[in-house]
Amino acid sequence: MFTQFFGNYLLNKQLVSPEHLCEAMQQLSTTRLKLGVLAINAGLLTAEQVDIVHDEQQRVDKRIGDIMVDMGFADSEQIEELFKTQPKGHLLLGQALVDNGYMTTAQFERALNSYKAENSLSDTDLSNSNEEAIRKMIKRFYNFNDTDSSRYMTSYLTLLFKNIIRFIGDDFTPLEPDMSAIKSVIENCVIQRIKGGLSAITLISADNNAEIEFASRFAKEQLSDNDEYTQACISEFLNLHNGLFAVNLSNDEGIELLLEPQEIYNNIKFEELINPVTIPVSFSMGLINFVIIL
């Protein structure tokens, strides 16, 4: 999940274009993480030293790790540890951007170090298994305060992004809340109301093409029309996510929720929704808007 928020950071700092970021996100599954990026992330080498090693590799028939040792940049034990490193998404994203020529190694090094420093993230934090670090990152990203409502919202979004990765794909970038991202009249949307110990309204909206592709990924079949079946697939994703949220809230805080049946609306007036939080998420397929009212 840190991969997606790192992508947003690169966009906001204007280090990559939306088009280049989208292309790199789509290449994550086929990108091979190289030793130089691992060495930069571990703090063993600087980008300048990695470039020197790469230049030397053009002149000698040796593995890059051996060259690092020969040049005194690392020892053999450190190189072995790098090879054991599990590939992390944010590093794969950086590797894809460097491989495509959209960033230099030095630019990636500066961006990664700045991202870690500005968000107080350690290498341990940059793991999708670190639940607390993820929650803190989401809370900071959306400027949530310490109220109960914000706490529930943080939990809801933490789970939402996990479920997007699990059921839809990881080629997305979360964007800052933007009320202008939602049209005054929403042509197509799926709504589910939550009642019980917590009252909420949840909504998914997108344009036709994005909705079709979103539904196709969830259904694991290629759909061609934004028909009742497409809307039903999107509706089922919302219901599945809200159901998991209800289970978590019951287990963690003893709050019982009741999910009302999903409803499909056409041409709903957005201004009729009171105090909505709009979460735009940019995919390679287009923009999907998630709206939550607590």
One pLDDT digit (tens) per residue for the chain, 294 residues: 889 999 999 999 999 999 999 999 999 889 988 888 888 888 889 999 999 998 898 888 888 899 999 999 999 999 988 887 766 788 899 999 999 999 999 999 999 999 989 888 887 777 666 788 888 889 989 988 888 888 999 999 999 999 999 999 999 999 987 655 555 556 678 999 999 999 999 999 888 899 999 999 999 999 999 889 999 999 999 999 999 999 999 999 999 999 999 998 776 665 556 677 889 999 988 999 999 988
Residue 180 DSSP symbol: G
Q: Of 103, 138, 97, nearest to 121 (Cα)? A: 138
pTM of this structure? 0.84
Its sign, for the CA torsion 280, 140, 121, 46, is positive
- Counting residues of the chain whose pLDDT is more than 70, the rounded percentage is 92
Question: Which amino acid type is present at position 103?
Answer: M
Please give the pLDDT value at position 127: 66
Distance CA 283, CA 267 (A): 23
* Adjacent-strand bridge partners of 265: 189
Q: What domains can be seen in the chain, in order of their start residue?
A: 2-118 (no CATH), 142-293 (3.40.1550.10)
Task: Please state the φ and ψ torsions of residue 206, each to the nearest 5 degrees.
Answer: -165, 170
